[in-house]
Amino acid sequence: MENLVGIYWVLAVLPTWVILTTVIVIVQLMILVGRHALEGIPYQVAYSALVGEGLCFTVMIVIVAGILQRGEVYVPLWFQSGTVHIWLVANCLVFGVVVCWLTLRSRWGHMMDIYHDVVVIPLILYSAITLLPVVFYSGTRVEQWTVVVFILLWLVSFAFDVKYDRLNQRRLLVRSIDAIEDMKEEDLRR
């Protein structure tokens, strides 16, 4: 425990229910509540957001918390420095800001899109960089394979969202509402 800093320390000392609740609030609930407050409707309809962030990322964090809480964890030497964690968080934040700047117009630039890019993406990137070594050095085979499957599931859901233009969730929601209206009109004609 003495060499645990940053996210390692947080996941090692907090109860699993606190970790789970915090991740769900940050990656799902804030976006739903923010969209409801700012846009009038809560939505999170991209598969990569629901499956990737809501399920896969959340379960992966809980898996790593379990590994860390068991103790006897291998943490690479360079990740045992608080300065390295601060540097990583800062760089992940810069990455999120760049992603936001590059994609904002294509997603209509609503506040919760900015939140996602500047909070959720850096959190996921920082977690991936720091936590995957813990899983693959200290996790059981089941934990390792579960994380691999969830990463693949996340990548497939993201690829599906890209292929079918589902990343602009507001536009997707508008198209879905239009499709529902068309179905209603068709039913009325019968």
Assess whether pLDDT exceeds 90 at residue 106.
Answer: no
- The C-alpha atoms of residue 161 and residue 79 are separated, in whole angstroms, by 33
Q: Looking at beta carbons, which pairs linking 110-119 to residues 24 or more positions away fall under 8 Å?
A: 110/35, 110/38, 110/39, 110/170, 111/34, 111/38, 112/30, 112/31, 112/34, 112/35, 112/38, 112/39, 115/30, 115/31, 115/34, 116/31, 116/49, 118/93, 119/26, 119/30
Residue 15, number of CB atoms within 10 A of its CB: 10
The 10 Å CB-count burial string (b at 16+, else e) for 175-190 is: eeeeeeeeeeeeeeee
Assess whether pLDDT exceeds 60 at residue 1.
Answer: no
* Residue 26 is assigned to a structural domain of this protein: yes
User: Residues 132-154: what's their mean pLDDT?
Assistant: 96
End-to-end CA distance of the chain: 68
Assess whether pLDDT exceeds 80 at residue 109.
Answer: no
* Residue 1 is assigned to a structural domain of this protein: no
Residue 167's pLDDT is 83
* Residue 107 is assigned to a structural domain of this protein: yes
* Residue 28 is assigned to a structural domain of this protein: yes
Assess whether pLDDT exceeds 70 at residue 161.
Answer: yes
- The least confident of 11-15, 20-24, 70-74, 155-159 is 70-74
User: 29 is in which domain, residue-wise?
Assistant: 6-189
Q: pLDDT tens digits for 21-70?
A: 999 999 999 999 999 999 888 988 889 999 999 999 999 999 999 999 99
Q: Using CA atoms in the order 69, 70, 74, 79, what is the torsion angle rounded to 10 degrees?
A: 0
Instruction: Say if residues 173 and 43 touch (Cβ distance below 8 Å).
Output: yes
pTM of the model: 0.86
Write down the H helix ranges in 40-120. 47, 58-70, 82-103, 111-115
Please tell me the total count of domains within the chain: 1
Residue 86's pLDDT is 94
* Residue 30 is assigned to a structural domain of this protein: yes
Instruction: Say which amino acid occupies 58.
Output: T
Residue 2's pLDDT is 65
Residue 4's pLDDT is 86
Instruction: Say if residues 80 and 5 touch (Cβ distance below 8 Å).
Output: yes
* Residue 109 is assigned to a structural domain of this protein: yes
Instruction: Say which amino acid occupies 129.
Output: I
- The least confident of 66-75, 91-100, 137-146, 168-177 is 168-177
Residue 108's pLDDT is 63
